[in-house]
Each structure stands twice: as C-alpha cells, then as structure tokens.
C-alpha cells in the first residue's frame, strides 16, 4: 500500500490547505497593512507550514514535490515582484540606490573606501555591503545587535548576486570599469552560497558582519570612510552618546548617509496607534524602541557632535489627525506643525 494511503492522505490534505492559504495571501497585495496580515492569516500560514514540514520525512517523493511546486512558483514570483520582501533584490535596491545617488550628487565615490552598513538587519545582512563592494569599496562591515540565519543569508546573497550579474545596468553605478565590477561578483563562491554555506561563499571577499552595540562598538575607531543606515538612528535612545560613538568610528573626512524614520513604530504593529501617538506620552515615557526625537533636534545633535550637515531632506510628511495637537505633551506641545508633520528625513553628514 502507498505511504499516502497508509496515512489517510493527511500530507496531501495539508498541502492542499497550504496551497489555498498561499493563494489567498499571495494573490492579494503584499503591500497591505502589515498589522492586518500579521493576525489571522499570518498565524494560519505559519501553523500550516509547520504541519507540512512535519509531514515530510526524507527525500521528496514524486507525489510530494509535485504538490510543493505550485506553492514554490506562486510564492516566489510574487515575492520577487515585491519591494517589501526583505530577502529580495528589490528591497536591497531600494536601500542602497538612494545612498549612491546622494553620494554622487556631492561627487563622493565608494571606490577605495571602507564602508559600514550600520544596523544591517537580520534578514539580508550582506546585501547592501555586497553592492558597495562590487562597486569598488575596499572592504565592508555590516553591524547589527543580533546575528542572522547564515544559511538564509547565503541564499539571499546568491539571489542578489545573480541579479547583479544578469542586469549590471541596474546595479553598476560607480566609475569602476565594468570588467572589474564583474570580476568582483565572481570573487564570491556562488556554489557555496547557493548551498547555504555563508563562510565558504564569502571566503575570497572582504565582507564582514559584526554583532555589536553602538554604545560599545567592537570596531576600531577612525576606520570607516563611508557609512549608511536606514531606519536605525531613531532607535538610539541615548542619541547624544550614539552620535559621539559614530564620530569616533568615522575617519577624518568620512561621510555618512542616514535615513531616519520619525514615526511611532507601534503603528506598524497595531491599528491602535498612529504615526504620532507617542508624542502624547509623558516626557519620561519610553517604549525602549524609539527615541521620539524630531528632525530639528537630530540636526542640532549632529552639529553639537561636530558633524557638518551637508544635506538634510524631508522625505516624508503628513498632517496629524484632527484634534491630536491638543493631546501633545511636554516639549512636543510647543513645536510647530511643520516640525511635527515631518515623518522621515534623509541626511548626509561629514566628519570635519
């Protein structure tokens, strides 16, 4: 008797259920509200995947792979088109291209420089660093508070480099000759990365990942020539001390590009909050996640530390909900609407 018959077709039914759930998820936009996604459907998907994995023992049989294939195709195609997929090339592109564009605007190149990705995240920790390296950076350092899944990081890097190789016009922005750009890509061990072996995949390239805190950095001072971050600085609760540490890490004349998200991050997780909710909390309040600093306060701290602010652009604005101004507390109550409506800034600072 066939194993599936012995098990009462339970694995097959699980695959069919998972296919229905994935169809519902992936044929609707992944750009929808994340709080809604993370409730019923997210939990159902996770439990169904766990059930599916527990039903698979040993190599895939003809019956099993044929059920997995439609799931793989529908999900992969949808994910590759999403700019929100944190393991995907498009997510890396949206992170790194604005950095290159702003640097180019001021005649700054990454070629021959030591680059640091501050707060690289745990999903695709080498993505931005890899793009900087293939565009001419001498070496790169990616930092975060937590380590990553090395196998998944290797797989994501493999996908990214394949895209950089297949579509160089979308990734080669520096003046580095195209031949050198391609050679740098080939310095990675593609076979090892495809198999999830991160150490072997990076053995011939100068990319590092360091788990460290900005308050006690395990990076030698004055070694970073170019630094960038995306939605990181708002998490430095002692911002003044953090700025002093950034100053020490950067070499004389070094440049840093930072995109800073000024919204209440609880609004990303729950519909109970909006982008300004934390401004109605007492001055002593903290969620241990965001520092609540507004754009002008960050600017002043940069200058106080000694940085020259070369660019300070408001990249996102919106109006507070009607009547919310009356709920503001502490120093926020006296701030202008212009200040409070600023929700994101992109800045370029120089250590002089």
Q: Are residues 206 and 255 in the same domain?
A: no
43-52, 156-165, 228-237, 280-289: range with lowest mean pLDDT: 43-52
pLDDT band, very low/low/confident/very high, at 56 (cuts 50, 70, 90): low
Residues 205 and 71: their CA atoms lie apart, in Å, by 35
Look at residue 31 and tell me whether its pLDDT is greater than 50. no
Which is higher by pLDDT, 42 or 162? 162
**Domain presence at residue 119:** yes
Q: Are residues 96 and 201 in the same domain?
A: yes
Look at residue 186 and tell me whether its pLDDT is greater than 60. yes
Average pLDDT of the residues in 329-346: 97
pLDDT band, very low/low/confident/very high, at 37 (cuts 50, 70, 90): very low
pLDDT of res. 4? 38
Which residues are CB-contacts of 125 (< 8 A; sequence separation ≥ 6)? Answer: 117, 142, 144, 148, 153, 209
pLDDT band, very low/low/confident/very high, at 36 (cuts 50, 70, 90): very low
Q: Are residues 231 and 252 in the same domain?
A: yes
pLDDT of res. 319? 97
Residues 67 and 48: their CA atoms lie apart, in Å, by 14
Q: Are residues 110 and 184 in the same domain?
A: yes
Q: Are residues 201 and 231 in the same domain?
A: no
Q: Kindly list the strands in the beta sheet with 224-230, ordered across the sheet, starting from the edge strand earlier in the chain.
A: 207-211, 139-144, 114-118, 224-230, 250-261, 342-351, 307-317
Q: Judge whether 248 and 348 are in contact, CB under 8 Å.
A: no
pLDDT of res. 14? 52
**Domain presence at residue 216:** no
**Domain presence at residue 217:** no
pLDDT of res. 275? 98
Q: Are residues 231 and 346 in the same domain?
A: yes
Average pLDDT of the residues in 238-243: 98
pLDDT of res. 81? 93
Q: Are residues 109 and 27 in the same domain?
A: no
Pick the last residue of a domain from 30, 48, 80: 80
pLDDT band, very low/low/confident/very high, at 48 (cuts 50, 70, 90): low
Q: Are residues 259 and 338 in the same domain?
A: yes
CB atoms within 10 A of CB 22: 19
The domain in which residue 57 lies consists of 3-80
Pick the last residue of a domain from 163, 183, 211: 211
Residues 189 and 22: their CA atoms lie apart, in Å, by 33
Q: Which residue has the tokens 């805190």?
A: 213
Dump pLDDT digits (tens) for 194-236. Answer: 999 999 999 999 999 999 999 999 999 999 999 999 999 999 9
Q: Are residues 72 and 138 in the same domain?
A: no
pLDDT of res. 45? 56
Residues 87 and 90: their CA atoms lie apart, in Å, by 9
Burial profile 44-74: b = 16 or more Cβ within 10 angstroms, e = fewer: ebeebeebbeeeeeeeeeeebeebeeebeeb
Backbone angles phi, psi at 11, to 5 degrees: -60, -40
**Domain presence at residue 164:** yes
Q: Judge whether 241 and 215 are in contact, CB under 8 Å.
A: yes
How many degrees, rounded to 5, is the angle at CA 152 between CA 148 and CA 154? 95
Look at residue 38 and tell me whether its pLDDT is greater than 70. no
Q: Are residues 50 and 101 in the same domain?
A: no
Could you give the percent of the chain with pLDDT greater than 90?
Answer: 79
**Domain presence at residue 221:** no
3-7, 175-179, 200-204, 300-304: range with lowest mean pLDDT: 3-7
Q: Are residues 248 and 330 in the same domain?
A: yes
pLDDT of res. 55? 57
> 323 in helix, strand or coil?
coil
Q: Are residues 314 and 270 in the same domain?
A: yes
**Domain presence at residue 143:** yes
pLDDT band, very low/low/confident/very high, at 70 (cuts 50, 70, 90): confident
Dump pLDDT digits (tens) for 111-147. Answer: 999 999 999 999 999 999 999 999 999 999 999 999 9
Which is higher by pLDDT, 62 or 94? 94
Could you give the percent of the chain with pLDDT greater than 70?
Answer: 82
pLDDT of res. 64? 76
**Domain presence at residue 220:** no
Pick the last residue of a domain from 22, 50, 80: 80
Residues 120 and 61: their CA atoms lie apart, in Å, by 39
Look at residue 110 and tell me whether its pLDDT is greater than 50. yes
Total number of domains constituting the chain: 3
pLDDT of res. 123? 95
The Cα diameter of the chain in Å comes to 77
**Domain presence at residue 218:** no
Averaged confidence pLDDT in the chain: 89
């Amino acid at each position: 008797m066939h194993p599936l018959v012995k098990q009462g077709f339970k694995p097959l039914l699980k695959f069919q259920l998972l296919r229905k759930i994935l169809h519902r998820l992936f044929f609707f936009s992944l750009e929808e509200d994340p709080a809604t996604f993370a409730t019923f459907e997210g939990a159902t998907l996770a439990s169904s995947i766990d059930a599916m994995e527990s039903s698979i023992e040993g190599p895939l049989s003809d019956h099993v792979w044929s059920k997995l294939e439609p799931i793989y195709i529908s999900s992969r195609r949808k994910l590759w088109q999403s700019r929100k997929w944190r393991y995907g090339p498009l997510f890396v592109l949206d992170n790194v291209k604005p950095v290159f564009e702003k640097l180019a605007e001021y005649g700054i190149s990454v070629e021959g420089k030591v680059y640091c990705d501050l707060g690289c995240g745990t999903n695709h920790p080498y993505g931005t660093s890899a793009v900087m390296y293939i565009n001419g950076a001498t070496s790169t350092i990616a930092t975060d508070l937590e380590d990553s899944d090395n196998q998944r990081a290797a797989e994501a890097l493999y996908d990214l480099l394949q895209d950089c190789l297949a579509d160089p016009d979308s990734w080669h922005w520096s003046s580095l000759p195209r031949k050198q750009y391609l050679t740098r890509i080939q310095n990675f061990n593609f076979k090892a990365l495809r198999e999830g072996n991160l150490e072997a995949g990076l053995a011939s390239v100068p990319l590092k990942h360091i788990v460290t805190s900005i308050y006690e950095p395990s990076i030698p001072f004055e070694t970073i020539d170019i630094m960038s971050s995306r939605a990181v600085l708002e998490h430095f609760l002692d911002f003044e001390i953090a700025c002093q540490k950034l100053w020490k890490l950067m070499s004389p004349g070094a440049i840093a590009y930072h995109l800073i998200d000024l919204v209440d991050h609880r609004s990303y997780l729950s519909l109970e909050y909006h982008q300004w909710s934390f401004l109605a909390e007492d001055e002593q309040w903290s969620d241990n996640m965001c520092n609540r600093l507004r754009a002008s306060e960050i600017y002043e701290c940069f200058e106080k530390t000694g940085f020259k602010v070369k660019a300070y652009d408001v990249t996102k604005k919106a109006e507070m909900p009607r009547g919310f101004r009356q709920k503001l507390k502490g120093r926020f109550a006296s701030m202008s609407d212009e200040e409070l409506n600023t929700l994101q800034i992109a800045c370029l600072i120089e250590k002089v």
